[in-house]
Structure 1
Amino acid sequence: MTTTDAAGETLAASVAPSADPGPSGVPTMFDVARLAGVSHQTVSRVLNDLSGVRASTRERVEKAIADLNYTPSPAARAMAKRRSGSIGLLQAGRPDYGPSNAALGFNEAARGAGYTVSQASMRDLDADTLTQEAHRLVLQRVEAIVLIAGEREAVEVLGGIDVGVPLVTVASEHAAGMHRVSIDQYAGARLATEHLIGLGHREIRHVVGPAESMDAAERRRGWNDALLAAGLPVILPIEGDWLAAGGYAAGLALVDDTAATAVFVGNDQMALGVLHAFRDAGVQVPGDVSIVGFDDIPEAAHFAPPLTTMRQDFDALGRDVMATVVDVLGQAATTRVDRVPELIERASTAAPRS
């Protein structure tokens, strides 16, 4: 865990400092950061003689470097000392609507800031491949690396790599060793659930995304807490996979839940599957059950019935990522706000029948 002091330096959480290197016996930037009591980003700024580090902090980092006899990667040092005008982008996982559009927004913002983007994509997350691609980008002299991936394992893998350049990620959970940008999934899920509660629903179910997804976990937490705050029952969610087919299977299971009057579905694709299953079973939406989705994909307005959902501004998210990169590289100060999904009311929700 890290905090930022008034001077903008990133400080490590209070832990007992240790001069012992990691399991490999070769000291890393993270060992230096731990001994000096700062983040690895601050160590990187000291190594590359960048501004924004207090003299006392710089001395502490330099002493830790000397005590550990730490030598940074020559390739990373050479890259960091020489501006390349290039940013690395790593994408891991299926090309779903949200990550794909966030990547597009980032690419457009990077071009607008005068940067080129070197990109690597992988459909299935593999730790070794992700590590290799990160090092390949460093050898291409990128000034920073951006990760867009929904699975927490990808964030953990990249955050643990000592590459010598700033790392920025889109992540709805804590990202150790990285600068994090996100849309507030928890707040969005609470708003979706509170919308149903406000309509009078008291038995509200949830179709959750995959267990490894950070967004799915935050949306589940928001739904759970909204129900608890209203004194309503929390029934174990039905697990989905972000796909319409998974939503269809979840919908068939929900058909037998005669007490449920509303469903908060973890994304719009699964909501489409739930609507299909309900239609096949003769369940009327919203007459029998109301449905809220998440994302507001372009097709959501054309579902039958049109879907009430939470709109995420993925283009703005991509711009926020690039603004963070520019900020981290010390070229400009950028003001950003915490973004919260917007409720888009359509015909799939209504008050429950008496």
Structure 2
Amino acid sequence: MARTSEPGTRRRPPGSTDVARLAGVSQKTVSRVMNDEPHVTDEVRQRVLQAAQQLGYRRNNAARALTSGRSNCIGVVSLGSALYGPATELVALERAARRTGYAVSIVNTTSGDPGGIAGAIDTLLEQGVDAIVLSEPIDEGPVEVALQVPVLALGPAPGVTAPHVITSLGGIGTPPAYEATEHLLSLGHRTVHHVAGPQPWFSARERVDGWRQALRAGGAVEPAVLAGDWSVASGYAAGRALAADPAVTAVFAGNDDMAIGVIRAMVEAGRAVPDDVSVVGFDDIPIAAYLNPPLTTVLQPFDEIVQAGIAALVQVLERPDDPAPDVTPPQCRLVVRSSTAPPR
């Protein structure tokens, strides 16, 4: 008599041999497909993937780590911040890594702690991560760390040395800040005032540089920079000071939150936006298109930027003997809405 399974007996999960049998290929071919290795035709690759999906097969990453000597985990050093930019970037990192079959381990740092970055890196290396992502937007000085694993730097990484250091994000804020300022000048405004983010932040410096370059290129007067801290409140405080000067007709804020504060201060002072004062922000946060008026701002494609960086990092991990790929991050773009207009 045939033997049947007892009720409640757990079935063996499908393995690579089952996938190979159903797809009509060798177990080695299944391994190549699952590890995204070359030398497999598209037709065979699709057949293996369809068989794996049909059986509900999942790659055993623990076993893979034992045989390969790798953890299949990417360590991320990130500033612990709820601000839109860093938080959005962190979510994009986790999603992009997961799509490529890697887990993510995150260690947050604190602003003003120069040793925090090196300590976070040490913590991640003790976990045996295969690579490090530095998502550190603040200049804490050179981080004198020599690593034996690849590094993806989402911004400048002075002092960090590694077999491969891939830069994916640094320096992209200057051209769009230039474009935002030039947009206001092209409308006929004689100059543009700037509410800047905190200067330890690399991105805040880049936006000041782009604003300043556009003013000089246009032959416009360069007003003093007003200091903000990325918050709506700091934008509001700067906006109150600007609203008191009737000569102010255009403001470029370093992020959308500060732009919102500037608009609130202008309206309270009886200065309409954009009839009396035009305002531009930076980031294109989700509510920017629904403000009154809708905010002209710079869109940062965080998902695309991070995906490009993670793809390059995974390429280095999977094919370490190949040269590290160059990463050309997607460009930011100016989104023109109703908060900007020619001066009266």
CA contact (8 A) 2:78 2:109 kept: yes
Distance 1:322 1:148, change over 3 A: same
8 Å CA contact 2:167–2:327 kept in 1: the answer is: no
| Superposed displacement of residue 289, structure 1 | 0.6
Residue matched to 2:138 = 151
Q: Which moved more, 1:315-324 or 1:230-239?
A: 315-324
- Distance in 1 between the 2:104 and 2:289 partners? 33
Cα drift, residue 132 of structure 1: 2.2
Q: Report the Cα distance in structure 2 between the residues aligned to 1:102 and 1:92, rounded to whole angstroms.
A: 11
Q: Distance in 1 between matches of 2:112 and 2:106?
A: 15
Please tell me whether the aligned partners of residues 79 and 86 of structure 2 are also in contact (alpha carbons under 8 angstroms).
Answer: no
> 1:92·1:125 contact (CA, 8 Å) conserved in 2?
no
- Other-structure match for 1:326: 314
Name the aligned partner's letter for residue 328 of structure 2. V
* Structure of higher CA gyration radius: 2
**Alignment check: 8 A CA contact 1:308 1:346 kept:** yes
The change in CA–CA distance for 1:231 and 1:190 in structure 2 (over 3 A counts) is same
Distance in structure 2 (CA, Å) of the matches to 1:104 and 1:272: 24
- Provide, for residues 74-105 of structure 1, a one-character-per-residue CA deviation record: whole Å limited to 9, x for no partner: xxxxx9x9322111011114221112112212
Equivalent of 2:270 in 279, 282, 285: 282
Say yes or no: does 1:340 pair with 2:306.
no
Question: How large is the Cα RMSD of the aligned pairs?
Answer: 2.1
Tell me the distance in 2 between the aligned counterparts of 1:93 and 1:220: 24
* Structure 2 alignment gaps of length 5 or more: 1-65
**Aligned residue number for residue 108 of structure 2:** 121
Q: 1:153–1:249: structure 2 CA closer, same or farther, 3 Å change rule?
A: same
Paired amino acid for 1:119: I
**1:135-150 alignment to 2 at 5 Å?**
135-150=122-137
Match of 2:146, SS state, is coil
Unaligned runs of 5+ in 1: 1-78
Among 148, 151, 154, which residue is 1:170 paired with?
A: 154
Please name the residue that 1:220 is paired with: 208
Partner of 1:240: 228
**Alpha-carbon distance in structure 2 between the residues aligned to 1:278 and 1:256:** 9
Return the match for 1:268 from 256, 262, 265: 256
Distance (whole Å) between structure 1 residues aligned to residue 304 and residue 112 of structure 2: 25
Partners of 1:338 and 1:103 in 2: CA distance:
17
Name the counterpart of 2:241.
253
State the 1:336 CA deviation: 4.0
Q: Which residue of 1 aligns with 2:181?
A: 193
Change (3 A) 1:152 1:179: farther
What is the one-letter code of the residue matched to 1:260?
V
Report Cα offsets for 1:246-274 as digits up to 9, x if no partner: 00000011012221210111000000111
Question: What does residue 134 of structure 1 align with?
Answer: 121
C-alpha contact 1:192 1:343 (8 A) present in aligned 2: yes
Structure 1 residues 288-339: Cα deviation after superposition (integer angstroms, max 9, x where no partner) = 1100000000011122211000000011122122123123335277674343
For residues 175 and 290 of structure 2, the distance between their equivalents in structure 1, rounded to whole angstroms, comes to 26
For residue 161 of structure 1, the aligned residue among 134, 145, 162 is 145
> Distance between the aligned counterparts of 2:327 and 2:151, measured in 1?
18
**What's the TM-score, normalizing by structure 1?**
0.72
Letter matched to residue 121 of structure 2 = A
Contact residue 201 and residue 261 of structure 1 kept, 8 A: yes
- The DSSP-based 3-state class of the residue aligned with 2:334 is strand
Identity across matched positions, percent: 41
Q: Is 1:350 the equivalent of 2:334?
A: no
How many residue pairs align between the two structures? 270
Work out whether residues 106 and 321 of structure 1, in 8 Å CA contact, stay in contact via their aligned partners in 2: no
Distance 1:351 1:139 in 2: 57
- The amino acid across from 2:341 in the alignment is A
Work out the CA distance in 1 between the residues paired with 2:263 and 2:111. Answer: 29
Residue of 295, 303, 307 corresponding to 2:295: 307
For residue 190 of structure 2, the aligned residue among 199, 202, 215 is: 202
Distance 2:221 2:316 in 1: 44
SS of residue in 1 equivalent to 2:153: strand
- Measure the CA separation in 1 of the matches of 2:293 and 2:124: 46
Q: Which amino acid aligns with 1:165?
A: V
Q: Residue type matched to 1:352 in 2?
A: P
- Point out the more displaced range, 288-297 or 131-140: 131-140
